[in-house]
Every structure is written in C-alpha cells, then in structure tokens.
Amino acid sequence: MSDDFELDTSDLERRMDGAISNLRTEFASLRTGRASASMLEPVQVEAYGQMTPINQVGTVNVPEPRMVTINVWDKSMVGKVEKAIRESGLGINPQLNGTIIMLPIPELNEERRRDLTKVAGQYAEHARVSIRNVRRDGMDQIKKAKGDGLSEDDQKFWESEVQEMTDRYIKTVDDALEHKQSEIMQV
C-alpha cells in the first residue's frame, strides 16, 4: 500500500529556504559600521493605527558611507519615526532637519562589535531551530508512513535524505554566521 510513499522534500526544502531567507534579512539589519538602508527594515513605526515598516512612511537613502536619511512623507509622522528608531536598539541617534531624519552611523567600538556578534549568533540559532523543526516534521511524516506499511529500508532511505538536507542547511547557517561575525569584527 505505502510502497508508493514519496516524501515531499520540495516542501521541506522550501521551508528550510525560508529560514535561511529570514536569517539573511535579520543579518542585513545588523550594523557593521557602514550605512545601509536595509538596517532599518526590522524597525516598525506606529502609523495610522498599525505597525508599519519605515520604508512605507518615507524614502530611505544612503547619501554617504556613514549616513542614512529618511525623508518622511507625512510631517505628523516625523516624531513617531524618530521615536521608533531611538527605541529600536540600533544604537543610532537620529537628528531632525524638517521632514528629513538623518542617521549618522558612528564607528563601532569593540564592545558594541562583540554585542552585535552575539546578536548574530542568536539569529543563527533561531534559524537552526527552525530548520530542525522542519526536519522533525519530515521525520514525523516518515514515521506515520511506516505505520501505514512503509518498509524499513524505505524508512531508512527517507530519514537519511531528510538528515542530509538538514545538515546542508545547518552548514549554510553556520557559514553565514561566520561571514557576518567576521564582517562585524572587521575594523
């Protein structure tokens, strides 16, 4: 009956890819001493009764390597955007100039660099946990199929497939973390 069992590995890969994609987004938000518009992506502003990304209330620009500017479209939102940036934990002190908020990016000191590498490690661990959860779901599907008559050889085959996929994605997370940490620690 279950000789035709086929584990949907493409679904598992899609979900693991999602964890990697989320990790890259989180890594992009970590400061490395250089200005980047993506560092503001996780910052949300309370606008018109709901939480909104900064890039939906103003234009984010990087006019020079150590400066990010936000040209807020609605003058009444300037204070809220400024407050959201101050409370975001980015360690940046916004400066107002009319509807333009300037964010000078200070040099990272050694202590702040170490803190950021720890945050990067936490992001990587969240990604690993997500990948392991997908692995567990795949293994549960295999166990259920075994209960429905899947042969032991097929069970071993599918379990090794899922484990190989998991190992490959965990290595991708580890490599991305190592790269990000070296980027942060670079002076």
Q: Kindly indicate the confidence band of residue 32, based on its pLDDT and cuts at 50, 70 and 90.
A: low
pLDDT of residue 187: 63
Residue 36 has pLDDT above 80, yes or no: no
Residue 3 has pLDDT above 80, yes or no: no
Residue with more model confidence, 187 or 7: 7
pLDDT of residue 112: 80
The residue with tokens 């050694």 is: 110
d(CA 30, CA 184): 8
Cβ-in-10-Å burial (0-12, 13-18, 19+) of 109 comes to exposed
The reply to whether the predicted model has a pTM over 0.85 is no
Domains of the chain: 9-27+109-185 (1.10.132.20), 34-104 (3.30.1360.40)
Average pLDDT taken over every residue of the chain = 87
Residue 127 has pLDDT above 90, yes or no: yes
Min mean pLDDT across 4-8, 112-116, 177-181 is at: 4-8
| β-strand pairing of 44-47 with 50-53 | antiparallel
Q: What is the mean pLDDT of residues 123-142?
A: 94
Residue 2 has pLDDT above 90, yes or no: no
Residue 160 has pLDDT above 80, yes or no: yes
143, 156, 163, 165 from 151: Cα distances, Å: 11, 9, 18, 21
Q: Kindly indicate the confidence band of residue 64, based on its pLDDT and cuts at 50, 70 and 90.
A: confident
